[in-house]
Structure 1
């Protein structure tokens, strides 16, 4: 859970610091948002392929590799001297961070007996929700009193602690045998291009006046073609990178849709509000962080209650 907390915290911390990053690296606010976009694109590409990667490399090995990649790229982000360099290292950071949350959940589920898994996931949820609560305030305080570079440097000791604890306490389950699997290169390419272009369109569409801009239209067409082809291909290939049959599970499909809706409502404002508060209202980074922090307090207090209710009643 430590690594997932670090990954979620890093996302919210960076959002508050974007105006300072833009000023320090001689970039516009719109250009600086690529610091967030680049991370989200690479993160979104890796996330659906986490299960396949775990089977190929082993869950523990993949998890430690992702944490190490995240920590090293965070260090280089802190030393970046140009916006292009920072964006490059953020892409690498996103590749490492994308797999950490699903692997953490898988490890946690297998650490608790079935009747206690609700409480286990509630504990995990507290960590995930607590990070966005303190992230804006912590990011604002660090940026105002030190430098935006330290929002990346703080990941280093936390990541090292996570690596050490994972090495000592985590083992792959017996059924998860690491071995050689046929690589679905075509599916992997479709996934990367489709998800990547879709993420860019969603993130930059408003600034580019949506479909009035040719490159938005082109990216949208590319994304649609790749994702539709991916669905058709993954249903027919013998070694799919994404097992689409899981959507036949009655509870999984609506749960995924609900999680998508919650994600849109919860995370959609995390990038926009700090920029609005600092550039238009005149808040400092610390003040904008304090303004955003109360949003997750109610969720934080509800998580333990949800864990108890799930353990004692039907999840639905």
Structure 2
């Protein structure tokens, strides 16, 4: 039997292998949710960040700007980095970098340090989106991709909607560090 016949048979060409592809879609969507949430959640806390770190409002906006610039810079390079490192490894590095940088942002003692950690966070987060979309495209067969990307899209739409509310609640009840 030829390889083409085997592929057309019962074997799946999904990157998920024997795993449930919807579990992969949910995990990827949760990471996307956190990434997009982080873009909007810090906006609400800018006044508190500025006050806490003895900075002006103009200076504190660099917390948002540097994150977005770093995020935008890494996206075009992600395809090349994926081919060099491997998609799964690159995605996991991005998730780990984003998560670790998020922790460091909460521990930042001053504005320059916070801005440096936000750059690192943006670099980690920027590489996630292209990788996630490739993972979804490889995990689902063409007839199911629209459903998978719809789940992904829900995370992208809901996160900036609830981000300011969550950011305000965390800032009011705890601290901007959260």
Q: TM-score, normalised by structure 2?
A: 0.82
For the pair 1:125 / 2:156, whether they are aligned, the reply is no
For the pair 1:63 / 2:62, whether they are aligned, the reply is no
Count of residues paired in the alignment: 150
For the pair 1:108 / 2:136, whether they are aligned, the reply is yes
Alpha-carbon distance between aligned partners in 1 of 2:128 and 2:154, rounded to the nearest angstrom? 16
Alpha-carbon distance between aligned partners in 2 of 1:87 and 1:76, rounded to the nearest angstrom? 11
Alpha-carbon distance between aligned partners in 2 of 1:125 and 1:133, rounded to the nearest angstrom? 13
Which residues in structure 2 correspond to 1:148-187 (within 5 Å)?
A: 148-150=176-178
Residue of structure 2 equivalent to 1:143: 171
Alpha-carbon distance between aligned partners in 1 of 2:30 and 2:80, rounded to the nearest angstrom? 23
Partner of 1:130: helix, strand, or coil? helix
Alpha-carbon distance between aligned partners in 1 of 2:69 and 2:161, rounded to the nearest angstrom? 23
Higher relative contact order (CA 8 A, sep 6+): 2
Residue of structure 1 equivalent to 2:102: 74
Question: Aligned to 1:25, which of 29, 53, 63?
Answer: 53
Structure 1 residues 81-127: Cα deviation after superposition (integer angstroms, max 9, x where no partner): 11001001111111101010111111111121111211111111001
Hey, which bits of structure 1, 4+ residues long, moved more than 6 A?
A: none
Structure of larger gyration radius: 1
Which residues in structure 2 correspond to 1:245-284 (within 5 Å)?
A: none
Structure 1 residues 151-189: Cα deviation after superposition (integer angstroms, max 9, x where no partner): xxxxxxxxxxxxxxxxxxxxxxxxxxxxxxxxxxxxxxx
Gaps of 5+ in 1: 151-316
Partner of 2:54: helix, strand, or coil? coil
For the pair 1:12 / 2:57, whether they are aligned, the reply is no
Alpha-carbon distance between aligned partners in 1 of 2:150 and 2:104, rounded to the nearest angstrom? 34
Residue of structure 1 equivalent to 2:16: none
CA root-mean-square deviation: 0.8
Structure 1 residues 221-270: Cα deviation after superposition (integer angstroms, max 9, x where no partner): xxxxxxxxxxxxxxxxxxxxxxxxxxxxxxxxxxxxxxxxxxxxxxxxxx
Residue of structure 2 equivalent to 1:50: 78
Alpha-carbon distance between aligned partners in 2 of 1:112 and 1:85, rounded to the nearest angstrom? 41
Shift of 1:52: 0.8
Residue of structure 2 equivalent to 1:41: 69
Gaps of 5+ in 2: 1-28
Residue of structure 2 equivalent to 1:293: none
Q: TM-score, normalised by structure 1?
A: 0.47
